[in-house]
């Protein structure tokens, strides 16, 4: 089941296609919340740091079809917390040491 689907099919010039891809590239480079101007309005997307991509080229029936698909989860993945270091306990013990004075005598 699809929560939302936006599809737009229209003819554009090569320059209009380039402008649309440039706007998409700028939004991807920026990341976070990105807005794409699409007629009849603006599409706002949250773009994470990691994406999956698929590129498909089909040639047939006198046409070339190029599809670029980018996929990411709707909710950001939580980074795993750092592994907890093994807890070590240190015990301090005090031992009393007696200062012992020894006298050494030299034997000839």
Predicted local distance difference test score (pLDDT) of residue 66: 95
The answer to whether residue 103 scores a pLDDT higher than 80 is no
Residue 1 makes CB contacts below 8 A (sequence gap 6+) with none
The answer to whether residue 7 scores a pLDDT higher than 60 is yes
Among candidate residues 50, 53, 52, 45, the one with its CA nearest the CA of residue 76: 50
The answer to whether residue 38 scores a pLDDT higher than 70 is yes
Predicted local distance difference test score (pLDDT) of residue 107: 55
The answer to whether residue 21 scores a pLDDT higher than 60 is yes
Predicted local distance difference test score (pLDDT) of residue 79: 67
Predicted local distance difference test score (pLDDT) of residue 100: 47
pTM: 0.60
Predicted local distance difference test score (pLDDT) of residue 1: 61
Residue 28 makes CB contacts below 8 A (sequence gap 6+) with 34, 47, 51, 70
Residue pLDDT, tens place only, 44-101: 889 999 999 999 999 999 999 999 999 999 886 666 667 766 665 555 545 454 544 5
């Amino acid at each position: 089941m699809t929560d939302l689907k936006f599809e737009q099919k229209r003819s554009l010039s090569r320059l209009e296609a380039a402008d649309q891809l440039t706007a998409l590239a700028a939004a991807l480079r920026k990341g976070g919340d990105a807005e794409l101007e699409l007629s009849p309005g603006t599409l706002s997307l949250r773009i994470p740091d990691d994406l999956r991509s698929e590129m498909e080229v089909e040639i047939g029936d006198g046409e070339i079809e190029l599809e670029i698909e980018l996929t990411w989860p709707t909710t950001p993945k939580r980074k795993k917390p750092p592994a907890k270091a093994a807890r070590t306990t240190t015990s301090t013990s005090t031992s009393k040491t007696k200062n012992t004075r020894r006298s050494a005598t030299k034997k000839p």
